[in-house]
Amino acid sequence: MDPVAALTEIATLLERERASKYRSKAFRSAAAAIAGLTADELGDRLRSAHIAGVGDTSRAVILQALDGQVPDYLAELRARYSVTESTLRPRLRGDLHAHTDWSDGTAGIEAMIDAAAALGHEYQAITDHSPRLRVARGLTAERLASQLDVIDTIEAPLRILRGIEVDILEDGTLDQTDEMLARLDVVVGSVHSKLRSSREDMTRRMIRAITAGHMHVLGHVTGQLVSGERGTRPPSELDARAVFAACAEHGVAVEINSRPERADPPDDLIGIAMEEGCLFAIDSDAHAPGQLSLLDHGAARAEACGVPAQRIVTTWPLARLEAWLARA
């Protein structure tokens, strides 16, 4: 087995499991450290000297791969790997919400795009955080402009959508300049602060952001966490019917966030959004290449809730999607 492929697959599976980012990054670093070495060169160097970036576990993986075996650690991860089946997942053409190492993701833009292409995506949005979210290294207008310049130089086998996950601030304004928002292909608006605000304040905040004219997608609507290393968090209180009515009126899609620890919005709110006539976007909210595949979780939830495929913008052909994005 090719050692680089084995190390990369291990990193991808760890990312999908939302394991510690340091574990997955260690395997990606090892893959980068040995890229370009022939099997003979690699075997000689591993048996006679230390290779910078290759730890003991990575070394064992490489040696087993060179011996023609599926490495034990990879076999263990494959045995744990499972995909949530649905008829909707094959109809998804791309993803409107993903992060890179420009903010709090673990990988560069090209690594995320390569992973999206490997999944067969026709398009992938890059939506790093906005400046208020300092803990996530949110992008100022200047850094966002620099990122757009970098994206423009990338030759990719799919359409890269230039975007942002912009904070919806306490007063309902968006945490980026109007000039920069106008330059983007896709704007995901999300609440990241004061999640325990009153029902009235949260409703007012969201509706002001939705009606401002810049947003395409309302991200992880309630902010809830149902599991995971960050613990649990109850959903924010809001008048969901009023918020979703505003989304429907202004053509803002409601995100079905695919991260299992979020399960956001809850099933009952998905039902309300359907009753109000909303569009939906099934997004990964990936922070690493392996997490892009989490779309299967979102697709299964949407299917279980009876969301029609034609109302999910991420099932649309690229031309139709771009026409919808261009209206804001």
DSSP, residue by residue, 93-132? -EES-B--TTTT-SS-HHHHHHHHHHTT-SEEEEEEEPTT
- b/e per residue 299-313 (b: at least 16 CB within 10 A): bbbbbebebebebbb
Mean pLDDT of 180-195: 97
255 has pLDDT over 80: yes
pLDDT at 48: 75
pLDDT tens-digit map of 167-177: 999 999 999 99
43 has pLDDT over 90: no
252 has pLDDT over 80: yes
Helix (H) or strand (E) holding 181: helix 178-182
Q: Which region among 8-17, 32-41, 42-51, 218-227 has the lowest average model confidence (pLDDT)?
A: 42-51
pLDDT at 122: 98
pLDDT at 147: 98
310 has pLDDT over 90: yes
97 has pLDDT over 90: yes
- The rounded Cα 306 to chain-centroid distance in angstroms is 23
Q: With beta carbons less than 8 A apart as the criterion, state whether 328 and 64 touch.
A: no
151 has pLDDT over 70: yes
Q: Which positions ≥6 away from 204 have C-beta within 8 Å?
A: 172
**70 band by pLDDT with thresholds 50, 70 and 90:** very high
Show me where the domains of the chain are located.
Answer: 3-80, 89-325
Structure tokens at 53: 């970036």
**What number of residues does the chain have?**
328
- The architecture (CATH level 2) of 89-325 comes to Alpha-Beta Barrel (3.20)
Q: Which region among 113-117, 155-159, 229-233, 251-255 has the lowest average model confidence (pLDDT)?
A: 229-233
pLDDT at 327: 82
Which residue would you say has higher pLDDT here, 248 or 20?
A: 248
328 has pLDDT over 70: no
- Give the Cα separation of 96 and 317 in Å (integer): 14
Share of the chain above pLDDT 70, in %: 100
